[in-house]
Amino acid sequence: MDLTKIKSAVLNQLTNTNGLYSLKLQNHIYGCFIIMEDLAQGGVNLTDTILSTPKYSFDLDKQFSTIGVRYGFAMDTHLVLETFSSEYYTTWIQYFKDIYSAKDIKDVDNIEDCIIEVVQSCVKSDDAFFITALETGNLPQEWIEKVLNLITPSVTPVAVILEKKELEKEKEKDEEVLETALTKATAEKPLITRRYLAITRRAHLKTDLPPLKKKALAKTRRQTTKPAAA
């Protein structure tokens, strides 16, 4: 099977990416690996762009952006791949169809080896979620923490400072209201003395975030050891 198109498509999509988008893309590519293996091994049926088994169906066309969420190493809705090139999309769809027709796991191995080389050349070791998942079958705890940090970033010191300033402004307004009310009450000298109290709001400055809820990261089915040739 010709590897030129898939190599080019993945390389062009992955080059110069980083952070959360890189994580989304790596997760999506990993999901594509799982789909290729299922197609080659006869684990699913493919009709046009519909993957199906007796228990479920998945539209590779309409649900393309959620391949990583459904089949990737991190099944979290924050990782939907919202943007991708037409080259990336059309190439994967065509390769899925070709693999289903041929049903040769060796073709899948060759494609995967090619893409792994591309990922290794484009992704820094600190962001190598995809490679780590291939090596271990799932993400170790320290890599899970990296995923959570990207999808649920902490409050920055700048945000805390801005929030504090807003609280100070509210306090000043409340004091102003109180002073105005008391002055007015004294000037009018009502027959029945009333006590004017400023409406205050009890505000809490967030200094610590609540514990992050860990997402359930799926154990993947990628085999790192190829079966011995017959």
What tens-digit pLDDT sequence spans the chain (230 residues)? 899 999 999 999 999 999 999 999 999 999 999 999 999 999 999 999 999 999 999 999 999 999 999 999 999 999 999 999 999 999 999 999 999 999 999 999 999 999 999 999 999 999 999 999 997 768 999 999 999 999 987 545 545 455 556 667 666 766 665 556 555 555 554 443 333 333 323 333 343 444 444 344 444 455 544 444 44
How many domains is the chain built from?
Answer: 2
Tell me if residue 71 falls in helix, strand or coil. helix
List the 50-52 sheet strands across, edge first. 45-47, 50-52, 57-59
Range(s) of the domain holding residue 166: 155-201
Do 97 and 160 share a domain, yes or no? no
Amino acid at 88: Y
Contact criterion met (CB below 8 Å) for 173 and 126: no
Residue 139 lies in a domain: yes
Structure token digits, residue 119: 């990922």
Q: Residue with structure tokens 């004294």? A: 186
Do 138 and 173 share a domain, yes or no? no
Structure token digits, residue 76: 């979290």
pLDDT given at position 223? 52
Do 146 and 161 share a domain, yes or no? no
Residue 159 lies in a domain: yes
Among 133, 151, 169, give the residue marking a domain's end: 151
pLDDT given at position 183? 56
Q: How many CB atoms lie within 10 A of CB 90?
A: 12
| 191: Cα separation from own chain's centroid | 66
Q: At what angle do helices 19-40 and 4-14 cross, to 10 degrees?
A: 160
Do 126 and 29 share a domain, yes or no? yes
pLDDT given at position 105? 96
Do 123 and 163 share a domain, yes or no? no
Closest CA to 77 of 212, 216, 222, 220: 216
Contact criterion met (CB below 8 Å) for 109 and 226: yes
Residue 220 lies in a domain: no
Contacting residues for 54 by C-beta, under 8 A, at least 6 apart: none
Contacting residues for 8 by C-beta, under 8 A, at least 6 apart: 87, 91
Q: Residue with structure tokens 């109290």? A: 197
Do 195 and 128 share a domain, yes or no? no
Q: Which helix (H) or strand (E) holds 52?
A: strand 50-52
Q: Residue with structure tokens 């037409």? A: 86
